[in-house]
Amino acid sequence: MNTNKNSVCKLKQLLLIIVLVFSNITINATIIPIHTKDFSLLLQTDNENRLILSYFGDRLANNDELKYVSNMFDFTDENIGICNSAYTPSGTWNLSEPALKVIHSDGNNSLELKYDSHTINPLTNGAKQYTIVLKDPVYPVEVKLFYKVFEAENLIEQWTEISHNEDGILRMQKYASANLYFTDKDPYLKSFHNQWAMEMQANSQRLTRGIKTLDSKMGSRNVMLQSQSFIVSFGHEAKENTGKVMLAQLAWSGNFKIDFEVDSYDNLRLIAGINPHASEYYLKPKEVFETPALIYALSNNGTGEASRNMHNWAREHRVLDGQGERLTLLNNWEATYFDFNEKKITKLFKDAQEIGVDLFLLDDGWFGNKYPRNNDDAGLGDWTENKKKLPHGIGYLIKEAHKKDIKFGIWIEPEMVNPESELYENHPDWVIKQSQRPEIYQRDQLVLDLTNPEVQDFVYGVVDRLFTDNPELAFIKWDCNSIIHNAHSAYLAKENTPQSHLYIDYTKGLYKVLERLRAKYPKVPMMLCAGGGGRADYNFLQYFTEFWVSDNTDPLERVFQQWNYSYFYPSIVTDNHVTNWGNQSLKYKVDVASMGKLGFDIVASELSKDELTFCTEAVKNYGSFKEIIWHGHQYRLQNPYDYDVASLLYTSKEKDRVIMFSYLVNTRVLYHTKTEPIKLNGLDANKQYRVNEINLFPNTLSQIKNEQTYSGDFLMKVGLNIPVDEDNPSVVLELTEVK
Ligand code: DGJ
């Protein structure tokens, strides 16, 4: 090193010492950098040895500079304390929304958390797990913060464990999963409201000072009104291909609370976890309380990239059999409702065979004898075949289905009970209710008390018995049509456990049942359903292979719903059926249902000859491209909110085959839809593609000239005119590489 360089170095060191002396950052700060491919999340101790989130932004290239980061910011508000605490306690210095709030066994309500230690462990699935231990210096309370990092996907699963060693119970009044802090300004939130048949209605808003909360207090059918998935962007509403976004979900199947607070620095604090409403949790000494995870995917290139990363992570690391196959099916719900018998059902097997699907799914109404399930007001809970409707039982139906070369699946709703049922007569204490008050029903039913191990055994037994009696049963649809009213458990009362455990222990009880079932039946496909899409999350999807998006199968509505679900879920997990809802053509319905897992809920014998031919061909086509829909990469091209034509495509992993769907979503008369080309995305610019229209209705000609080939470069920069109009409201294109 020459003398010149030497003196520059010395000067730099001197400057650094001056900066450190005059800043309030300790030289001995512990710094824990969590890097993904494009982002860094910097956790570090401050002067008081508390843990702060000093940076959450683009990936920092030089680890030796990390120590300067916190010099640049100081988010200590003299009124409320440290805004960027990595896990904000309550009852001491903090006066803002806490992540953890407790009452100690001696009645004291103060909590302080200081950094103790941390470990970093590579996991076998390629992820890296960071565990950071925080301790209260006065009370023996310990908090572990977990960050499971999927570097390539820019995705983090974050959760917390809380434990203590006090002499008695620690009462937890709030216990968040994650506490984040963004210094990007002008945050926007895109959230999704639900209602029966109106799931995933998007709502975007600019977040201003104060707290905005997304929450659920519904219990069992937890996302009936509000989804726990959301998108945060900065400076503008989330865009598809540009800008910083975070796609996130609290993976919990019970009540949740997600707070977005724009603080006095105009920064965004995010605190997400189980909803503590009516849920004070009494933690015994040495018991470990594990919160669910907040799962978030980050991108600087908009929601498209973040979704694809979340889809990849979900299929590889989360969803049961995410890399596997799914079964196309014919369901009888809309074809028959409760009004069926053996003859009607076996006739539908023929339909299933003709359409060419893999499985027949028998829906609600097959059980109950003393109280036959002929309507939704009786029989729920009595899981034996109704002798009148099905005199030869399920076994016979399975055999008949096999004769037609199709598999057989069945609907259940094992967590619920009708007051008019033998189950209720025999076990009134198994029901969640306030026995001194009038019962409150949703769809004439009540919720079973899954905090009770006997009830867990019962629910497990419903499914286990079905499989034991019918080993060839190939599919389960698990429904849940009620929220929890009158939240009171006779079991918890008997056990002297506080009623405030009910919502959490219900959800944990359900997970226990599912855990047991999956230990015995690891792969049987199961569809999650809750009066439509009243339940869906990444905790459930460890046990379920797919979920029912909505009872609303009007295909126009479905374009919007499926679009919004696709932000968070890969298409392999979303079940889309063709039904009589909506007055669009059968082709439109099938084309819309094909962007996901295709199914039908129609009477094929009522179709015209051309319609049946179309269906059969479309199912064959689906069979040829389903691999791309299920395991390929999805690119959303034109959204249904801003354009007359919604358009999206899926590419194979090798980018040699593409399936593109375009749907007219504006029912007003339009004259210009074909004049503007739609730009494709996700192709290989250097590959040459032949474009071919598929799913054509019999006797119609495509306006696409399939002898023409185009380069990926052309298709992504200029695009294609898609021949969508009122006469032809949906178009499915297949692009294949020409070698
Ligand atoms: C609600 C579900 O969403 C429907 O698909 C159907 O299974 C009914 N329940 C049956 O009761």
Q: pLDDT tens digits, residue range 236-266?
A: 999 999 999 999 999 999 999 999 999 999 9
CB 423 within 8 A of CB 371: no
Question: What is the distance in A from the centroid of ligand 1 to the CA of 267?
Answer: 44
Mutate to test the pocket of ligand 1, among 477, 481, 581, 601 (most ligand atoms within 8 A of CB): 481
| Cα dist from 214 to 189, 224, 551, 586, whole Å | 10, 13, 23, 38
Q: Residue 148: pLDDT above 50?
A: yes
Nearest to 684 by CA among 720, 652, 718, 722: 652
**pLDDT tens string 453-475:** 999 999 999 999 999 999 999 99
What is the 3-class SS of 524-578, one letter each residue? CCEEECECCECCCCCCHHHCCCEEECCCCCCHHHHHHHHHHHCCCCCHHHEEEEE
Residue ranges around ligand 1 (CB below 6 Å): 333, 363-364, 411, 479, 481, 529, 531-532, 548, 551
Q: What's residue 707's pLDDT?
A: 77
Q: What is the band of 91 on the pLDDT scale with cuts at 50, 70, 90?
A: very high
Residue type, 431: V
- The model carries a pTM of 0.95
Nearest to 728 by CA among 691, 708, 692, 703: 703
CB 532 within 8 A of CB 196: yes
Q: What percentage of the chain reaches a pLDDT higher than 70?
A: 96
Q: What's residue 706's pLDDT?
A: 74
**pLDDT tens string 365-389:** 999 999 999 999 999 999 999 999 9
Question: What is the distance in A from the centroid of ligand 1 to the CA of 374?
Answer: 14
Q: What is the mean pLDDT of the chain?
A: 95
* Stretch 592-606: mean pLDDT: 96
Rounded distance between C-alpha atoms, residue 190 and residue 231, angstroms: 5
**pLDDT tens string 641-653:** 999 999 999 999 9
CB 498 within 8 A of CB 282: yes
* Stretch 5-24: mean pLDDT: 48
Rg (CA), the chain: 28
Query: Ligand 1, atom 4: nearest CA belongs to which residue?
Result: 531
Query: Ligand 1, atom 11: nearest CA belongs to which residue?
Result: 364
CA torsion 688-692-695-701 (nearest 10°) is 170
| Cα dist from 118 to 125, 143, 211, 538, 617, whole Å | 21, 12, 31, 27, 58
CB 608 within 8 A of CB 586: no
CB 688 within 8 A of CB 737: yes
Question: What is the distance in A from the centroid of ligand 1 to the CA of 581?
Answer: 14
Query: Ligand 1, atom 2: nearest CA belongs to which residue?
Result: 531
The residues, ordered by sequence, that sit 6+ positions from 293 with a Cβ below 8 Å of its Cβ are: 146, 148, 157, 158, 159, 177, 178, 250, 251, 538
Which atom, in ligand 1's list, is nearest to the CA of 550? 3
Q: What is the band of 85 on the pLDDT scale with cuts at 50, 70, 90?
A: very high
Q: What is the band of 13 on the pLDDT scale with cuts at 50, 70, 90?
A: low
Question: What is the distance in A from the centroid of ligand 1 to the CA of 298?
Answer: 35
**pLDDT tens string 487-513:** 999 999 999 999 999 999 999 999 999
Question: How many residues can be counted in the chain?
Answer: 739
Question: What is the distance in A from the centroid of ligand 1 to the CA of 364?
Answer: 7
Nearest to 49 by CA among 139, 108, 135: 135
**pLDDT tens string 557-577:** 999 999 999 999 999 999 999
Give the 3-state secondary structure of residue 408: strand
Question: What is the distance in A from the centroid of ligand 1 to the CA of 321?
Answer: 24
Q: What's residue 11's pLDDT?
A: 53
